[in-house]
Homo-oligomer: A and B are copies of this chain.
Amino acid sequence: MDHSRPDAIPEPAVRRISLYLRQLETFKRKDRKTVSSKQLGESLGLTDAQVRKDLAYFGQFGHPGIGYLVDELISKLRQILGTDKTWNVLLVGAGNLGRALMAYKGFEAKGFKLVAVFDSDKHKVGSRSGPFMIQPLAELANTIQKNNIRVAILAVPAEAAQDVADRLVDAGVRGILNFAPAAINVPESVTVNSVDLAVQMEQITFAVSLASMGKTA
């Protein structure tokens, strides 16, 4: 992630809030009503102290002698992450990755609703992809304003990323999930989260290399 400004709450803590939420949703599906910081931590390979410390950035959520109420904590964590409401999201890039993202079932259940898809390719514009009619970039600003869109997903080639990001920001987008393998520059008021798949792979080969040398990774 490259938040472009200093952060009072550490990034890894915010990331773990998402993981706690995911785990609590799993507990809820199993009809579990309460959970302790130890149980929540263990399910994610974390200590109970880490769980309590992360949650303490945002408030006091435990109940003495009970632990956390699963439903209540899910609701609080969604508030923290801003997903207690639904976010209209747009996607730029209707290539392979874009199509995978359109078909991705995981978004809507988590509070994200893909409402529009754009591409610069004239051969794609006007065609349908699932429920979406691919729109030209010229309609970006209009669609963003009409649907009150604040977050966008960028699944375009590296060389197009900065130009599209500039257009998104100009039109009012404040958060970008960037899949293009390129760094993009945005004003300080805009958040970019870059998912560079090669970076993700390198984190793995780093650990596997170290482990195969007999060191601790």
A49 interface residue (CB < 8 Å to B): no
A66 interface residue (CB < 8 Å to B): no
Q: Which of A14, A206, A207, A216 has the most CB of B within 10 A?
A: A207
User: Hey, what's the 0/1 contact readout for A147-191 against B, CB within 8 Å counting as 1?
Assistant: 000110000000000000000000000111100010100000101
A202 interface residue (CB < 8 Å to B): yes
CA distance A89 to B200 in the complex (A): 13
Identical chains in the assembly: 2
B175 touches A204 (CB 8 A): yes
Q: Find chain B residues with CB under 8 A from A95 CB.
A: 100, 103
Beyond contacts A5-B217, A6-B216: 8 other A-B pairs, Cβ-Cβ < 8 A, are A4-B45, A19-B183, A22-B181, A96-B100, A112-B198, A174-B212, A177-B197, A195-B197
User: What would be 30 A-B contacts, judged by CB atoms less than 8 Å apart?
Assistant: A1-B203, A3-B207, A3-B217, A7-B216, A7-B217, A8-B216, A14-B206, A18-B199, A18-B202, A23-B183, A44-B183, A81-B202, A82-B206, A83-B202, A87-B201, A95-B100, A96-B104, A97-B103, A99-B100, A100-B100, A104-B197, A106-B181, A106-B198, A109-B198, A110-B198, A151-B205, A174-B208, A175-B204, A176-B204, A191-B204
